[in-house]
Amino acid sequence: MTPEPASPAGSQLDHARATTALPHHTLETVLAIRRWTKNLLSVRTNRSPAFRFTPGHYARLGLDGVDGKVVWRPFSVASAAHDEHLEFLAVLVPGGSFSNLLAKVREGEPIRVDKASYGFMTIDRFAPGRDLWLLASGTGLGPFLSILSEPATWQRYDNLIVVHSVRHACELAYRDEIAKIPHGELLAASPARLRYVPVVTREALVGALPARIPQLIEDGRLEQAAGVALDPRHSRIMVCGNPQMSRELRRQLTARGFRSNRRAAPGHVAFENYWTTPPL
């Protein structure tokens, strides 16, 4: 069907809308950059008072390319919902369009932040449970930092288990900060217990488990290190980062009776993949 031509009145209205339309993002300033390794960094920006998010959500960040086009990418918010700033944990992917721009960003420079936040990996989507497992690979730790800094998380669960899997020990970002979380002003009175399980796959590190998370679940070492059993009656599990890890964990956990969250049916497991891989 051929569309109706727009009436002159309509086109004037459209023009008026286009010229008065508010941008969907705000321009913020990079306040601080913390380098964990050459390619792993935390970026702190100021936060528009209107920017709202639920811990576990992601924002969309935009950087201006040399050709004048803005490159947008999703990034999980790592800072607390009550913080006045926003913080993101980012990896610089060799040759990546956003990574190339981010590598050059300095403190004091502008960055665009979409006004909306997005995502489904939030604790309110789970069926009630006792233990919250946060399984991260690499920068997948980011949203879990935000979730762990939220008092509601500590009220809802008895045990919080954060598992961070990286290749090299130097990539265990926020290790000291995680140890301090339970002593924070808002959380110190909570009876919930936090367990931090570092996993380093490419070198030996005392105190860290030495294999990928699916392997550690398969052979029982993860439950042993956490001192908590994985059980669909009590465990709620978030998985974030590498899609290959997600795929393996989905298969494993489904076989053990865990069910993914659905829009109308709260479940036991939520997954967030940072990139896509072709189907096997």
Ligand X SMILES: Cc1cc2nc3c(=O)[nH]c(=O)nc-3n(C[C@H](O)[C@H](O)[C@H](O)COP(=O)(O)OP(=O)(O)OC[C@H]3O[C@@H](n4cnc5c(N)ncnc54)[C@H](O)[C@@H]3O)c2cc1C
Question: In the complex, which residues of this chain contact ligand X (CB under 6 A)?
Answer: 58, 73-76, 88-91, 93, 96-99, 138-139, 142, 272, 274-275
For residue 105, the minimal CB distance to ligand X (Å) is 13
Q: How far apart are CA 175 and CA 227, in angstroms?
A: 19
Residue 93 or 179: the one with the smaller Cβ distance to ligand X is 93
In terms of Cα–Cα distance, which of 231, 58, 56 is closest to 147? 56
For residue 7, the minimal CB distance to ligand X (Å) is 41
Cβ–Cβ under 8 Å, residues 155 and 122? no
Residue 67 or 185: the one with the smaller Cβ distance to ligand X is 67
Residue 142 or 198: the one with the smaller Cβ distance to ligand X is 142
- Virtual torsion, Cα 180, 182, 184, 186, nearest 10 deg: 160
Residue 26 or 139: the one with the smaller Cβ distance to ligand X is 139
> What residue number has its CB nearest to ligand X?
96
Question: Strands 269-273 and 235-241: what pairing?
Answer: parallel
Q: How far apart are CA 13 and CA 138, in angstroms?
A: 48
For residue 101, the minimal CB distance to ligand X (Å) is 8
Token pair of 30 as six digits:
């990079």
Residue 48 or 244: the one with the smaller Cβ distance to ligand X is 244
Exposure string of 6-38, with b = 16+ CB inside 10 Å and e = fewer, is eeeeeeeeeeeeeeeeeeebbebebeeeeebee
For residue 40, the minimal CB distance to ligand X (Å) is 8
Residue 89 or 225: the one with the smaller Cβ distance to ligand X is 89
Secondary structure E strands in 38-156: 40-46, 58-64, 70-76, 85-91, 110-114, 131-137
Cβ–Cβ under 8 Å, residues 86 and 125? no
For residue 59, the minimal CB distance to ligand X (Å) is 9
For residue 132, the minimal CB distance to ligand X (Å) is 19
